Amino acid sequence: MDNRIFTVILDWLAFTVPQATVDEIGELLDGEWFETATGFRGYPTCWLTNQGRHGVGKLGTGAPRSPKEVHVDLSAGIVSAWEESKIRSVLAWVFRRGGHITRMDVALDDRAGVVSIAQVKQAVDAGQAVTRSQKFQVLAGSSLRDGASTGDTLYFGSRESQTMLRVYDKRLELEQKGRAEAKDYGVRWELELKQDRAQACAKALLTLPPEDWREFLVGVLRSYVDFRETSRDAEPWEKYRASLLPWWESLTEGFKRCRLVVEKVQQTLDEVCQWLGQSISAMLALAYFHRGEQFLQQLIYTGSKKWKARHRAMLHEERSQRPYVLRHA
């Protein structure tokens, strides 16, 4: 089987450190962070960053019980663009500061759709899923705009547990969102690890050389669910001794040889403006009434001096003339 059709990405990362500053987090993760008018996960102070398309990071701090504690949530749009060295450096920093990983999502992608959602569901119905999970459910998705199906999502486990597996058609989901990159995807096997399991997985990734990450992650997946030549009525020992279903054996072997994907999804100026309106418009209004329009103009001018290559690339796509540089009034 061609191993190039299988990939793996980091799809979510959340961590807490007992003591850190917003500036330290900004330096660690890059990007610009903005304070908002609302709290986050029980923390009274919240900061936001927006990096790449649909990539949002949230930082909470200032809790009365531990004022210097910082909690950070980073979505796929941010962490999926990290190379192995970046993942390792962030995890190492968290542990060095006495912190812990509270959530880590890993997405294993069968980009050619070698195994269909229907095959997986059929195996579950036949009692061929050997799993520690006590709960399985199927949720049918559809578009609110036109009612079109976005496919079934299979859930093994619950949101309250430390491990949950989602299996869904990523290509169909992206097609419904009008995303051009949809053609590059297929069926996604997404492990959501929390608390102790997220912490253990992160420590293992730090210990292992990157070339061994794939096999380790497939082992984590298979320790949670296997598909075997068995039935619902078989004894537990019989189920665990049964042969793997051929399609599952092929799929997991492919995953073992997959490559880590570093996603390069360009953000647009329209998306930046939309995010600003949703996330920090209240804070901008406060700054305007407190300091006036000249203060906001000074902020904009100062911000233009901090542009990096990705900012100029966004401007270049929007303007055919020479790059526009704000001049100080």
Farthest CA pair distance, the chain: 79
Give CA–CA dist 183/106, Å, rounded.
21
What are the tokens at 70? 């910082």
Give CA–CA dist 305/271, Å, rounded.
21
pTM: 0.79
Confidence bin at 262 (pLDDT 50/70/90): low
Question: 51-60: per-residue pLDDT in tens?
Answer: 755 678 999 9
Confidence bin at 319 (pLDDT 50/70/90): low
Residue 104, amino acid: M
Q: Residue 64 — φ and ψ, nearest 5°?
A: -55, -35
> Under a CB-based contact definition with an 8 Å cutoff, are residues 225 and 165 in contact?
yes
How many Cα neighbours within 13 Å face the side chain of 246? 1
Give CA–CA dist 291/18, Å, rounded.
34
Confidence bin at 172 (pLDDT 50/70/90): confident
Q: Are strands 6-17 and 100-110 parallel, antiparallel or unpaired?
A: antiparallel
Q: Which pairs with CB-CB distance under 8 Å and at least 24 residues apart come from 321-327?
A: 326/300, 326/301, 327/301
Question: 211-248: per-residue pLDDT in tens?
Answer: 899 999 999 999 999 999 999 999 999 999 999 999 99
Give the pLDDT of residue 65.
93
Give the pLDDT of residue 308.
64
Buried-exposed string 13-47: b where 16+ CB fall within 10 A, e elsewhere: bbbbbeebeeeebbeebebebeebeeebeebebbb
Map 140-170 to HEC letters.
Answer: EEECCCCCCEEEEEEEECCCCCCEEEEEEEH
Residue 322 confidence (pLDDT) above 50: no
Residue 115 confidence (pLDDT) above 80: yes
Residue 323 confidence (pLDDT) above 60: no
Nearest by Cα to 325 from 306, 317, 310: 306
Q: Are strands 66-74 and 6-17 parallel, antiparallel or unpaired?
A: antiparallel
